Amino acid sequence: MASVRKALLLTVASNGTGIALQMVVIVVLSRLLTPAEVGVYSVAAVLTGLAGVLRDFGVGEYLIQEKDLTDEKIRAAITANIAVSWTVCIVLFLLARPMSVFYAETGVGNVLEVLALGFLVTPFGAVAMAFLRREMRFHAMYWATLVSGVGSGAVAIILAYRGFGYMSLAWSSLVSSMLIVVVSLVLRPAHLPFWPGFKGLRQVLHFGTHMTGTYLFAHIGRGAPDLVIGRMIDMQGVGLFSRAGGALELIHRFVLRGIRPVMLPYFSAQRRAGAELKQGYLRWVALVTGVTWPVIAILGLMAYPAIRLLYGQQWLASVPLMQVLCAALAIEIVFLTASEILIAAGRVASSSRLQLVTQSIRIAAIIGSAAFGLLAVSLALLAAAVVNAGITIAALHRAIDMNRSDLFAACGPSLAPTLVAALPSVGVLAWAGVGEENFVAAALFSGILGAAAWLASVIWLRHPLGLEVVGAWHRLRGREG
The single-letter DSSP state of residue 23 is H
Could you give the number of structural domains in the chain?
1
Contacts of residue 117, defined as CB under 8 A and 6 or more positions apart, other chains included, come to 89, 174
pLDDT in tens, 436-468: 889 999 999 999 999 999 989 988 988 877 766
Q: Which whole-number Å values give the CA distances from 393 to 97, 133, 404, 406, in the listed order? A: 42, 28, 7, 10
In this model, does residue 480 exceed pLDDT 80?
Answer: no
Would 257 be classed as within a structural domain? no
Secondary structure class of 41 (helix, strand, coil): helix
Secondary structure class of 380 (helix, strand, coil): helix
Would 319 be classed as within a structural domain? no
In this model, does residue 208 exceed pLDDT 70?
Answer: no
Name the band, by pLDDT with cuts 50, 70 and 90, for residue 57. Answer: low
pTM, rounded to two decimals: 0.70
Would 219 be classed as within a structural domain? yes
The single-letter DSSP state of residue 280 is H
What's the CA gap between 460 and 448, in Å, rounded? 18
Would 373 be classed as within a structural domain? no
Would 308 be classed as within a structural domain? no
Would 151 be classed as within a structural domain? yes
In this model, does residue 476 exceed pLDDT 60?
Answer: no
**Count of positions (residues) in the chain:** 481
Considering 208-217, 234-243, 407-416, the range whose residues carry the highest mean pLDDT is 407-416
What confidence score (pLDDT) does residue 2 get?
A: 45
Averaged pLDDT score across all residues of the chain: 80
Write the burial class of residue 94 (CB in 10 Å: 0-12 exposed, 13-18 middle, 19+ buried): exposed
Would 216 be classed as within a structural domain? yes
Would 290 be classed as within a structural domain? no
What angle (nearest 5°) sits at the alpha carbon of residue 251, between those of residues 249 and 256? 85
Chain mean position to CA 187: 24
Chain mean position to CA 228: 20
Mean pLDDT of 129-140: 65
What's the CA gap between 259 and 418, in Å, rounded? 20
pLDDT > 70: percent of the chain: 74
Domain that holds residue 103: 1-233
